[in-house]
Every structure is written in C-alpha cells, then in structure tokens.
A and B are shown apart, each in its own frame.
Chain A
C-alpha cells in the first residue's frame, strides 16, 4: 500500500519568503507528526496531531512555524518569513494509534528546504 508522501521533495526559497510543506499520511492513520533534521541538531520533534485532540505544538521553534491538519488527513507545515537557519529536511510521520503495540511511526521521504 501507499506510504507517507511529502511534497515538494526539494524547496529552495529566498530569505523572508513563506513556504508550505505538505504531508499525506497513510490512509487510516490517526496520528501525524512533523520532525526537522538539520546538521548538528539531529532529528527534532516539531508538532503532533492525534485525531480531534488539540495538537502538541511544544516542538515548534518560533511563532513563524505553524501547522494544520484538515479533515484528519493531509497536513501542511507553514514557515513564515523564512530564515537561513530554517534550512533542514522536514520529515512527516504517521501512526495508526496513540497507545498499544501498533504505534510504530512510518516516515515519509522528507522535504529538503534550502533558504538562500
């Protein structure tokens, strides 16, 4: 079956511009996560959606970052007024349930963002 997909695969933008990154989770998965992977920082949690519950935004680095999940499926991560330090690979993951043995997270291929 189809895995987690992300678009675009690569995005180059100029400092100060806004960008939107898209994630399509595995069908039926109720939980969706965004992570960021940058050199020297490793893989960092950004935000987590679970069903209709309020999202866990504790990992968002600044108020320039926001994310939404429409209809419990597709998610968009928006970065406003991009800065060079936002350059990273943004990874999305989904999982079927919060609790239990089946909460393995399945990752997409990522979007490589370069801010010039």
Chain B
C-alpha cells in the first residue's frame, strides 16, 4: 500500500531564506508526483507536476526534484516571501491500475516571517 510522508510537519523561517520541503513515498511504482499549495479555508493549487520519467521541474522560485528509485521528492523554495506562507502537500499518482487518484501526504505548514 502506497504511503506518502512529509517532513517537517511545520516550518517557520525568516523572509529571504531558501528552504527545502521533503516528501517520501513507499512504493516507487508511480505515474507522477505533484506538489500543491493550500491556503487556509481554500482548495488546492497545483504548483508543479513531475512525470515518473523526469528528474525535476521548475516554476519561478520553485524547483521540485524526483528520485523515484529512493522514493523521495523535494520542493525547493528560493528567497522565501511572507506570501509563501501556506500548507504544501505532496501527492503521488500510483502507476498501477487505470485510475488517476492521488495519494497525499499530511502536508508541511510553512510560515515565512517578515
């Protein structure tokens, strides 16, 4: 059974710092991995999607990497800003079966202090 774990559960940093969020998964047979952002009381916003054949994806100050063999992904946020404060969720789409369902980690709640 696929399980997704995110470390740390919470993180507080001063503005301007670079930071890394970690995600690990138990079954390397994945189709893709997605990073989402969730603001309080809101839905999820997709940040980056990495296909199983890819190693990384970049969007602005965000860079996500994928090491499928070791079951790990990281989300790197450069020059953090207070507006980055949110909960970040990692999700994998299993590679087996004809389903698009996602399996989520518990999330990392990030606070960036001005």
How does the 8 Å CB contact mask read for A83-102 relative to B, with 1 for contact and 0 for none?
00000000101010010010
Q: Which residues of A contact B102 (CB under 8 A)?
A: 33, 35, 45, 105
How many residue pairs, one in A and one in B, have C-beta atoms under 8 Å apart? Answer: 60
Segment of A14-22, A64-72, A106-114 in the binding face: A106-114
Given the interface pairs A31-B100, A33-B101, the reply to whether A43 lies near B89 with Cβ below 8 Å is: yes
- The answer to whether the Cβ of A104 comes within 8 Å of any Cβ in the partner chain is yes
Confirm or deny: A75 has a beta carbon within 8 angstroms of a beta carbon on chain B: no
B63 CB within 8 Å of chain A: no
Q: Are A42 and B46 in contact (CB-based, < 8 A)?
A: no
Which residues from A are CB-within-8-Å of B103? 45
Task: Annotate B81-99 by CB proximity to A: 1 below 8 A, 0 otherwise.
Answer: 0000000010101000111
Report how many residues on chain B are interfacial, defined by Cβ distance under 8 Å.
24
Quick one: given A103-B32, A104-B34, A105-B34, are A45 and B44 in contact (CB under 8 Å)?
no
Asked if B22 is at the interface of the complex by the 8 Å CB criterion, the answer is no
In the complex the two chains form, is A103's CB within 8 Å of B89's CB?
no
- Given A43-B89, A104-B46, check contact A50 B100 (CB 8 Å): yes
Given the complex of chains A and B, what is the CA–CA distance between A111 and B46 in angstroms?
19
| Residues of A near any B CB (own CB < 8 A) | 4, 31, 33, 35, 42-45, 48, 50, 53, 56, 58-59, 91, 93, 95, 98, 101, 103-110
